[in-house]
Every structure is written in structure tokens, then in C-alpha cells.
Chain A
Amino acid sequence: MRRHGPRVFRTASKFFRRREQVEEAAQEIFLKAFTQLDAYEARGSFEGWLTRIATNTCLNLLRSAKRRPELTASDLSEDESAWLENNLAGAAAERQQSAERGMVAADLAERVLEKMSPDDRLVLMLMDGEEASVKEVSEATGWSESNVKVKAMRARRRMREAVEKLLSRGAKRGDKDFVNAGGFESSESEGGR
């Protein structure tokens, strides 16, 4: 458990943000792993098997939780609105470096993600957040690779539309810098393929 704890906690952290939720999920994952240990056939790696249990357990926990209604611009805190503005004004690349900025961005991501389905959340966090490959997501979830691609495409579209909606509402609210501030500088990690 000492060896695999960090990995399980990392997986649970993608699904839940509050520490107690992450711990609860991690505990459930280990309990499931212990009870299903007989089912583990040493064909694949143990890490892969555990990751799969972790992913499915977290997905089920998320599915059983009630989803909140759609996020609107008025739900955002000042910091979150400011982050959106700055990010789109192209100044985010430098400012994002600070831990505080990163936390606001993560807050905002969480608020958008919690309105989405557990499957959408999973593919977005793994593929766009962690840059996992289609194959890795397929192995972690048990979905076919084509299914992962379709899910990822739909999830990205939903996420993009949700952010777009927030931006357009923010712009309507009077933040003129919101959209038309020349926000086309790439962030550092763009352009990596």
C-alpha cells in the first residue's frame, strides 16, 4: 500500500478536489483491490490493474453523486473571472506561473468539470490535463480506443462550449478585454506534437 498509495491518490485527485473525498475514494479503491485480489491474473502489470480499479471506482463514486446544474458567469468568483480575462488577453503565460494563478485556474476547471458527466471529466483530465494517450485511457477504463476518441471529442466540445459561454457572458457583462485583446499567444506547452 505504501508503494501504490501515491499513484492511487493521484488518480483519485483527478476526480475529487477535497482532501477528505480523495481519501475516501482512495480507501475504497484499496478495499476493492484487497477483496478482488483473487481475480488478479498476473498477465498485465499490477499497476495497470490497480489503476483500472481506481479509475472505475472513482467513476462509480462520481456517477452516484448528484451533478450540479450548469455553471454561469455570475457563479464565478472575482479571481476566477479575472483569470479568464487575463488568460484570454494573452497575458496568462507568465502570470500562470505563480501558484496562486494555477490554483485559480484549477478552481475554475473544477467548477466547469463538476457540471459535466463523470466520463467527460475522466477523458478531459487524463488526455488534456495529463496528456495521456488514447491507449492509456483505454487501458485505464476498459473502453475501446475508438470509444475513448469519441468520448474525448465530445467532452472537449462540451468543455469548450461551456468556457465559451462563460466568456460571452463575461463580455456581455462589460469586460471589453475579455475577447478582443489579442489573445493568440500560445502558452508554453502548446505546440508539442
Chain B
Amino acid sequence: MRDEHIKRMLDEAPLSSLGKAELEGVRAHAEGCADCRSAFEAARGASSMLRARAAEAFEPPPFFQTRVLAQLRERRAAEEGWTLARLWKTAGLLVSSMAATVAALAVFTFVAPQQEVNAQDLGGPYTAESVLLDESDAADGQMTEGQVFTTLYESDEDSAR
């Protein structure tokens, strides 16, 4: 033991578990080694402190059981509430996505065709009907009524001559 330091021995097992012979060896070494002596003193102090601390314990207070059971009921109720809320949320999501789908379908069914007709009205490609019935477009390149009559009468007069 003289040439061996004792710190490892102090750390390996609780001081209280050392046998008499081991303890004597530790003391003998510590007397001649200042470093190990302070380590031994600290280990002994630590051991006493820990035993004193471990001896302390509280007893359950009265009504502890009632409090725990009340807490347990509260937690279970909260968990159930949470599950319901989650279910409700999921159902809400499902319903709202269905409503969105129905709305989208309605838009495609009723609004989109009208938009197509309007697009034609606003200057789409010419159709036979529009060309025949629409007078406004044709007006640009045609004669006025007066000019038509004048032309007609002139041609009649020319033929009479």
C-alpha cells in the first residue's frame, strides 16, 4: 500500500463497505501521503454527508391518495376532451373539403359556360348568324340609305333615257 495511491480504491466502492484491513491500509498510506490524505478526508466527509441525507424521508401526507385520484380523473377527462376535439377537427376538415369540392363543381357547371358565350359576344370568331344579323360591323364598308336611293334612282333615270 505504501507505494500505491488510494484514490482509486476510494472511488471504486463506498467507504462504508471497506473492510477493517483495507481501511487500515488506507489510513497507513494516507499518513504518509498528503495528497491521498486530503482525498481520504474528503471521501469520509462525503460518505457521512450522504448517509445523513439518505436518512431523511418524508411520509405521505393525509389525503394524498384523494389528491392523486382526483388528478388522475382530471387527466383522463382532459385526454378524452382532447380526443373529441381532434375527432371534431378531423370531421370539420372533411366537411369543409367536401364543401369546397361541391362549390368548385358548381362553378364549373354554371358559371364557366356563360363565360364562354360572353367571350363569343365580346368579339369571338364570326358565325353565320352574326354576320347576317349584325348590322353594326357591316356598316363601315356600306353606303348610307340616301346614297342607295340616289344610286337606284339614277340607274332608273338612266335606263328611262
- What is the interface of chain A, defined by CB distance below 8 A to chain B? 1-2, 5-6, 8-10, 12-14, 17, 19, 22-23, 26-27, 30-31, 34-35, 84, 87-88, 92, 96, 102-103, 105-106, 108-110, 112-113, 124-125, 127-131, 153-154, 156-157, 159-161, 163-164, 167-168, 179, 183-184, 186-187, 189-193
Q: How far is the CB of B15 from chain A (nearest CB, A)?
A: 6
When each residue 107-148 of chain B gets 1 if its CB lies under 8 Å from chain A and 0 otherwise, what string results? 000000000000000000000000000000000000000000
- What is the interface of chain B, defined by CB distance below 8 A to chain A? 7, 10-12, 14-20, 22-23, 27, 30-31, 37-61, 64-65, 67-68, 71-72, 75
Q: Give the complex CA separation of A85 and B58 in angstroms.
A: 29
Pick the contact of B11 from A19, A35, A96, A153 — CB < 8 Å? A153
Q: Supply 10 further A-B pairs (C-beta < 8 A) apart from A31-B71, A31-B75, A84-B45.
A: A106-B49, A112-B49, A128-B47, A129-B50, A160-B7, A164-B42, A179-B37, A183-B41, A190-B23, A191-B23
- Inter-chain contact B59/A9, CB cutoff 8 Å: yes
Residues on A with C-beta less than 8 A from B56 are 13, 17, 106
- Inter-chain contact B50/A164, CB cutoff 8 Å: no
Q: Which A residue's beta carbon lies closest to that of B76? A: A35
- Inter-chain contact B38/A92, CB cutoff 8 Å: no
Residues on B with C-beta less than 8 A from A109 are 46, 49-50, 52-53
Q: Which B residue's beta carbon lies closest to that of A105? A: B52
Residues on B with C-beta less than 8 A from A23 are 58, 61, 64
Residues on A with C-beta less than 8 A from B60 are 5-6, 8-9, 26
Q: Give the complex CA separation of A155 and B59 in angstroms.
A: 28
Pick the contact of A87 from B45, B50, B71 — CB < 8 Å? B45
- Inter-chain contact B46/A88, CB cutoff 8 Å: no
Q: Give the complex CA separation of A98 and B40 in angstroms.
A: 24
Pick the contact of B18 from A112, A179, A193 — CB < 8 Å? A193
- Inter-chain contact B54/A125, CB cutoff 8 Å: yes
